[in-house]
Chains A and B, each alone.
Chain A
Amino acid sequence: MPADETHLRYLDRLSPYIDSELSAVESADVAAHLASCESCSAEYRHLLNTVESMHQQLPPLRAPAALRARVEASIRTPAAAQAARPIRVDRPYRGIAAAAAVVLMIAAAYGLGARTGTSSSAQMADAVLTAHVRSLQQGHLTDVLSTDQHTVKPWFTGKLDFSPAVPRLEADSFPLVGGRLDYVDNRVVAAIVYKRRAHVINVVTYPVEGAADVTPALETRRGFQIAHWTARGMAYWVVTDLNADELRTFCSLMRKADAGP
């Protein structure tokens, strides 16, 4: 008879086992245990029974026709349509009259394209975040250490096939620390480093050909704040442990400086 702890270990995994969410090895391990342990096997049948009953008794619903009509009408209003950025897709969507209503469908198609081509935005956010964390390790933050934009900007020349924007923001308490080359998602990118108090801000930037401008979107990942936008053919990723408000301030300063005189 195995110790109680062994049983508990298996009982905890019955739920993911039912959902096929365990690794093949773990799953085989649970199956082997169930075959040899009557009490765990009884628990498993009981839980499986509950889960199957829930599936039967709590069915997915169909939206009422009135709601469908209401939602279609509301997202076709000028305000909603204006706010929705036009996204170009290669495939024509014939026969669909309500342009705004297909935004989400296009999103799905766009998603499929993104998966086969370059990395998705979520993967990019992860890659940039990893670069940020790596940069915080001793001696990895900057290749060129300078608070002077006229030192940092030329330093990139010859190392990159583009010239990153290096605005001075120390008047707004975001002093420039330096820059470095980084390698993110199979491309060489420029990382410009700023500080706010003790907080490091990494601005990763690289050219994106033919990409439409995208206004900044903020997200939180593993406790870091990430902002992303595209402007004038350049993609920007800002990663920091600052709070969202200060990051927003930083982003608008960056964008204003980048838009230039």
Chain B
Amino acid sequence: MLPHLDAAYTLARYLLRSEDAAQDAVQEAFLRAVRHFDGYRGDNARAWLLTIVRHCCATARTRGKREDAFVEFDERLHSAHIESATPELHLVRSGAADEFHRALDSLSANDREVLILREVEDLSYEEIARTLGAPIGTVMSRLARARKRIQALVHRESRDAS
């Protein structure tokens, strides 16, 4: 029984573009969580774990094609970058869901992150602030801005389609 595994997987899967990269990031995050248990401050295990997942995803993104991105070399990682920019998420998606995924993809990493933590992970502003290492005021304004952007993108897309 692993607590918060679903939350960790959700964040990684939304932040990274391939299933394999997301699963690798989650595994790495749990390993780090176990190793760096000292850093746990005993108040919010989920936010703490998501902070680590977020770091692992950032590492996976920035290290890109380098083969030492994770503890174990994984051939499949190399294919991560040629896969679709839109995660499939193993779901049959409605047109509206596609719209949101495309819109998410075109946002900046900062905007995407804050939206996922709020709308998908359902974290409070305080938890988001902790996860991102940013003040609550920043979270508030970044989230408001990200929502406006995605609203404009989705709105434009549905207008274009009709």
To the question of whether A and B form a pair in one complex, the answer is yes
**Chain A residues packing against B (C-beta within 8 Å):** 12, 14-16, 19, 21, 46-47, 50-51, 53-64, 66-68, 70-72, 74-75, 80-81, 83-85, 87, 96, 100-105, 107-108, 110-111, 114-115, 120-122, 125, 214-215, 217, 219
B45's partner among A68, A111, A125 (CB-CB below 8 A) is: A111
Residue of A nearest to B40 (CB): A107
Could you pull out 8 A-B pairs where Cβ atoms are within 8 angstroms? A54-B120, A56-B96, A71-B27, A83-B34, A84-B37, A104-B4, A104-B30, A215-B38
Known: A15-B147, A60-B10, A87-B37. A21 touches B124 (CB 8 A): yes
Q: Which 9 A-B pairs have CB atoms at the shortest separation, nearest pair first?
A: A15-B144, A63-B9, A57-B97, A83-B35, A114-B42, A111-B42, A121-B41, A54-B119, A50-B151
Contact (Cβ within 8 A) B150 A103: no
Contact (Cβ within 8 A) B119 A58: yes
Q: Is B115 positioned at the interface, with any CB of A under 8 Å from its CB?
A: yes
CA distance in complex: A147, B134 (Å): 39
| With A60-B120, A61-B6 already in contact, 16 other A-B pairs whose C-beta atoms are closer than 8 Å | A14-B144, A19-B143, A21-B124, A21-B140, A57-B93, A57-B94, A57-B96, A58-B120, A59-B91, A63-B9, A70-B27, A71-B27, A84-B34, A84-B37, A103-B37, A111-B43
Contact (Cβ within 8 A) A16 B125: yes
CA distance in complex: A251, B96 (Å): 54
Chain B residues closer than 8 Å to A114, beta-carbon distance = 42-43
Within 8 A of A (CB), among B33-75: 33-45, 48-49
- Nearest Cβ on chain B to A70's Cβ, whole angstroms: 6
Contact (Cβ within 8 A) A63 B8: yes
CA distance in complex: A63, B101 (Å): 19
B34's partner among A50, A51, A103 (CB-CB below 8 A) is: A103
Contact (Cβ within 8 A) A72 B2: yes
**Chain B residues packing against A (C-beta within 8 Å):** 1-10, 13-14, 23, 26-27, 30-31, 33-45, 48-49, 89, 91, 93-94, 96-97, 99-101, 104, 115-116, 118-122, 124-125, 140-141, 143-144, 147-148, 150-151, 154
Known: A16-B125, A16-B140, A57-B94. A62 touches B6 (CB 8 A): yes
Chain A residues closer than 8 Å to B10, beta-carbon distance = 60-61
Chain B residues closer than 8 Å to A12, beta-carbon distance = 141, 144
CA distance in complex: A103, B48 (Å): 13
A15's partner among B1, B41, B49, B143 (CB-CB below 8 A) is: B143
A108's partner among B3, B14, B39, B124 (CB-CB below 8 A) is: B3
Known: A70-B27, A80-B34, A108-B45. A101 touches B2 (CB 8 A): yes
CA distance in complex: A100, B89 (Å): 29
Contact (Cβ within 8 A) B42 A67: no
CA distance in complex: A47, B49 (Å): 30
Contact (Cβ within 8 A) B3 A105: yes
CA distance in complex: A47, B154 (Å): 12
CA distance in complex: A61, B100 (Å): 16
CA distance in complex: A105, B2 (Å): 8
Known: A16-B144, A70-B23, A102-B1. A63 touches B43 (CB 8 A): no
B1's partner among A54, A80, A101 (CB-CB below 8 A) is: A101
Chain B residues closer than 8 Å to A72, beta-carbon distance = 2
Chain A residues closer than 8 Å to B140, beta-carbon distance = 15-16, 21
Contact (Cβ within 8 A) B31 A74: yes
Contact (Cβ within 8 A) B30 A71: yes
CA distance in complex: A215, B35 (Å): 12
CA distance in complex: A58, B104 (Å): 10
Chain A residues closer than 8 Å to B13, beta-carbon distance = 61
